[in-house]
Amino acid sequence: MSTENKHSSKGAKLRLDSLSDIQLKIAESQKELTDLRIRKGTGQVENPLRLRTLRREIARLHTIAAEKTKTHTATATNA
């Protein structure tokens, strides 16, 4: 599987979730990222790569949430 296909499938799966589910995932991921940053400061991070992965996941979730909000707003305006 190429890198491009792997990334698009992650987004495709997330796009099936509702906006409230996505916002919940954002909050959970941000909490985990905060905890990891604190542990990084004390040198207790087992997997430092997880920090980068979480940042990218949060960015992906924010992008999808913005798309859903824009789509929802456009649909409500046209109705």
Query: Is residue 21 predicted with pLDDT exceeding 50?
Result: yes
Q: What does the CA dihedral 15, 71, 21, 9 come to, rounded to 10 degrees?
A: 10
pTM of the predicted model over 0.85: no
Q: Which of 51, 75, 65 is nearest to 11 (CA)?
A: 65
Domain that holds residue 8: 3-78
Write the CATH number for 48.
1.10.287.310
1 pLDDT band, cuts 50/70/90, is very low
How many structural domains are present in the chain? Answer: 1
Residue 9 or residue 59, greater confidence: 59
pLDDT band (50, 70, 90) for residue 10: confident
State mean pLDDT over 26-38: 96
Comparing 8-12, 22-26, 37-41, 50-54, which segment has the lowest mean pLDDT? 8-12
